[in-house]
Chains A and B, each alone.
Chain A
């Protein structure tokens, strides 16, 4: 008995000690995560910003695609409130107009810089990394000040974002300090003197404001980009963002010219059309000076290992073999797809790429192909560019899986996609969110 009691007491002492240690650790962590508020300012007069600075900020905001996430459907531009579905719950973007109550009207330039570079709100609260500050941290202060000038000269819109709906315990923002410790790597994008000025400009845009890796780099379970697999392909709003490194699955190597055409118009005759979340990126890039897009193309093109001249590739078309292996897919393709994509279809006479060139059909994942069939493709630049109807309500998951199996077998020499019905079901579910 005595021995037992002694053991119990000593165990209790250990537990107490551990608890105290844990509490002390938590307090220290909390203290370390604490950031001061930056004093509110009176919203500055529009005339206090030089027009040239505002114009430059407008261009930079296009490169950063700010309005895409910070505008809700049918809402005022940059007034926030767009729901962003993440694996951790739904976030709502903030209002970036200079409304003093619901926007950034009382934010000083230094508060704005801190938000962009350190992911901390004016009030000192940590911001969620849906704001890609692990990229924006590389942006130079002069550029951030230009974006600030652009935002502060917008019409103020009174619009409070709905409350976030996150899984427990992620509503507790100090936890984000730990995330930043792991995934926020500050500092400017290094200049490579051995590369062209365009390449270096491209590196600055792509790694910083452009935050291309936000979608095109895979993320770990904590939602951090896996730096060792930079540009190896990721996920964006239920679509697959293809690899932008040597693993890019294009049938014809991307040239810099092809990239420029694609990024500015949404389609390249040697590749395919921009779809899903890439559409708004193209819309933004169609409005910036071509030199900026050329710089992006120089940097991304080098990553993909493309030269300047397109390498001719033989385009597979195994119509007979594919029909024998996927008879239902062949029938559905003939009735639903061939009117545009089949040989001799009117669209094919307009220099539109064959499905054999489509990255989505050649990619190792069927996700984007499934999304394109389900949701269709909207012209990224209003009024022009490719438009494909969605088949979500016309075809069942099994039927779409049959079409995809057929497409893959007919237009590529790649191995079959596995578990297609499950991929389509998942794509349908994620495409409907939020």
Chain B
């Protein structure tokens, strides 16, 4: 079945059944390997991308549900030469260890920062709750987000 979806500003025609997880279409059909397959159950957040500006789990979002809503993946944020401020902050804080969760972390955090450029510490933590890092770099991830949000580096504050 032919479906049209808009990803990172470009319109794509894909040949997929509508129940196919958006994640598979992004990776297998469009070659966008930023979003990762973690659990496939919406429990870990490695597959997080943005749909209409909101962070969603692409592993449990059928591609047929996307419709005209724009999809944004980490590839739509910046490149290794021209990184987005949040990507730069993740690099500066060395927030990645194995890196498997990072694209999802960045896309979820970016959705928050787009809606609220200066969120409180509490808001950041609540928002990032759904995304897991098996390496345990959560503190560095939070530091990177705080850096862009422009709030104090002390995790206990706010």
Q: A interface vs B, CB < 8 Å? A: 73-74, 331-332, 334-337, 339-340, 346-347, 387-389, 391, 393-396, 399
The residue on B at minimum CB distance from A400 is B65
Docked-complex contact A389 and B60, CB < 8 angstroms: yes
How many B residues face the partner with a CB closer than 8 A?
25
Q: In the complex, what residues of A have CB within 8 A of residue B18's CB?
A: 331, 335
Cβ-based interface call for B84 (8 A)? no
CB distance B43 to A335 under 8 Å? Answer: no
A315 to B61, CA, bound (A): 27
Cross-interface CB contact of B65 among A332, A346, A387, A389, cutoff 8 Å:
A332
* Shortest distance between the CB of A331 and any CB in chain B (Å): 5
- B60 x A394 contact (CB < 8 A): yes
- Which residues on B sit within 8 Å (CB–CB) of A393? 51-52, 54-56
A393 to B54 Cα, complex, angstroms? 6
| The one of B54, B56, B62 that contacts A334, using a Cβ cutoff of 8 Å | B62
Q: How far is the CB of B133 from chain A (nearest CB, A)?
A: 17
- Whole-angstrom distance from the CB of B21 to the nearest CB of chain A? 6
Report B95-112 residues with CB < 8 Å from chain A CB. Answer: none
Is the pair B64, A335 in contact by a Cβ cutoff of 8 Å? yes
Tell me, yes or no, whether B42 is within 8 Å of chain A by CB: yes
Q: Is the CB of B41 within 8 A of A336?
A: no
CB atoms of B62 and A331 under 8 A apart: yes
The tally of CB-CB contacts under 8 A between chains A and B is 62
Q: B19 interface residue, CB < 8 Å from A?
A: yes
Interchain nearest-CB distance for B72 vs A (Å): 13
Does the CB pair B43–A399 fall under 8 Å?
A: no
Say which residue of A73, A335, A339, A394 sits within 8 Å of B41 (CB atoms).
Answer: A339
The B contact surface, by secondary structure, is: mixed
**What's the Cα separation between A205 and B126 when bound, in Å?**
34
Contact A339 B40 (CB under 8 A): yes
Contact with A along B120-135 (1 / 0, CB 8 A): 0010001000100000
Residue ID in chain B nearest A327 by CB atoms: B18
Q: Which residues of B contact A391 (CB under 8 A)?
A: 60-61
Q: Interface of B with A (CB < 8 Å)?
A: 18-21, 40-43, 51-52, 54-57, 59-65, 67, 122, 126, 130
Q: A208: shortest Cβ distance to chain B, in Å?
A: 34
Check A73 against B122 for contact (C-beta < 8 Å): yes
Most buried by B among A388, A389, A395: A389
Residues of chain A with a CB closer than 8 A to B56's CB: 393-394
Quick check: B122 and A335 within 8 Å, CB to CB?
Answer: no
Query: Is B19 in contact with A331, judged by CB distance below 8 angstroms?
Result: yes
Closest Cβ–Cβ distance, residue A403 to chain B (whole Å): 10
* Residue in chain B with minimal CB distance to A399: B65
Tell me which residues across on chain A come within 8 A of B67, comparing CB atoms.
396
Collect the chain A residues with CB atoms within 8 Å of residue B63's CB.
335
CB-CB under 8 A from A339, the residues of chain B are: 40-41, 59-60
Among residues of A, the one whose C-beta sits closest to the C-beta of B111 is A393
Q: Which of B21, B41, B52, B54 is the one whose CB lies under 8 Å from A340? A: B41
- The residue of chain B having its C-beta at the shortest distance from the C-beta of A330 within the complex is B19
B51 touches A332 (CB 8 A): no
B19 touches A394 (CB 8 A): no
Residues in B with CB closer than 8 Å to A389 are 41-43, 57, 60, 130
